[in-house]
Chains A and B, each alone.
Chain A
Amino acid sequence: AQSVTQLDSQVPVFEEAPVELRCNYSSSVSVYLFWYVQYPNQGLQLLLKYLSGSTLVKGINGFEAEFNKSQTSFHLRKPSVHISDTAEYFCAVRNTGFQKLVFGTGTRLLVSP
């Protein structure tokens, strides 16, 4: 069965510093990949998605992610974070032909001044 690993449960970072949130998935077959953000007591908002084509995907709020098929990774990056980026970030994967997403356990990004 497909699984998603987010190794870092919490990532503290100072404002304006770069950040990378790591995501690895288990399956080597064709997949679709997603990053979602969740602010406290809210639903999940789609940040970006990889379906096919260019391995570097740009999303909202200045985030980007790179799909690496050989390493089965889809790490999320931002060159300069803001206080408002403090939130929980979830990586998700969907096998082609399936209707379900499999989520990682999430990474809490804590941005301090």
Chain B
Amino acid sequence: SQTIHQWPATLVQPVGSPLSLECTVEGTSNPNLYWYRQAAGRGLQLLFYSVGIGQISSEVPQNLSASRPQDRQFILSSKKLLLSDSGFYLCAWATGGSYEQYFGPGTRLTVT
């Protein structure tokens, strides 16, 4: 069966520091991968999605970036964090033939 991992689970970082969040999927090949951010009391905002290695689509212009170095690995990065980057970051996957997305456990990021 398929599983999705995210780490770290929680992270506290100072303003201006770099960021790297990792997401990996097991049990499937060539999945579509997604990064979402959920701010406190708000819905989900799609940040990036990828349909294949090295293929990244950005939904919201900001100081975040994403990369997909391997088929089942999706990384969210920033060179300099802002206070507004705080939130709950969720990774999700879907196969090309499925209609729904499956979510990871999330990473709680607090920028101080």
Contacts and interface: CB of A to CB of B under 8 A. Distances in A.
A31 to B, nearest CB: 10
A55 interface: no
A64 B94 CA distance: 23
Given A41-B106, A43-B90, A99-B51, A51 B46 contact: no
Nearest to B10: A41
Interface in A39-91: 41-46, 49, 51, 90
Interface size class of B (residues with CB under 8 A): 20 to 34
A100 B100 contact: no
Q: Main SS of the interface on chain B?
A: strand
B104 A43 contact: yes
Given A44-B103, A45-B103, A90 B43 contact: yes
Q: Interface size for chain A: under 10, 10 to 19, 20 to 34, or 35 or more residues?
A: 20 to 34
A46 B99 contact: no
B105 A43 contact: yes
Contacts of B100: 32, 34, 46, 49, 101
A45 B101 CA distance: 9
A103 B44 contact: yes
Nearest to A6: B43
Contact of B43 (A42, A100, A105): A105
A50 to B, nearest CB: 10
The 5 tightest CB contacts between A and B, nearest first, are: A43-B103, A105-B43, A44-B103, A103-B44, A32-B99
12 contacts: A34-B100, A41-B108, A42-B105, A43-B104, A44-B103, A90-B43, A99-B49, A99-B51, A99-B94, A101-B46, A101-B100, A105-B42
Given A36-B103, A101-B46, A103-B44, 7 more contacts: A32-B100, A41-B106, A42-B105, A49-B100, A51-B99, A104-B43, A105-B43
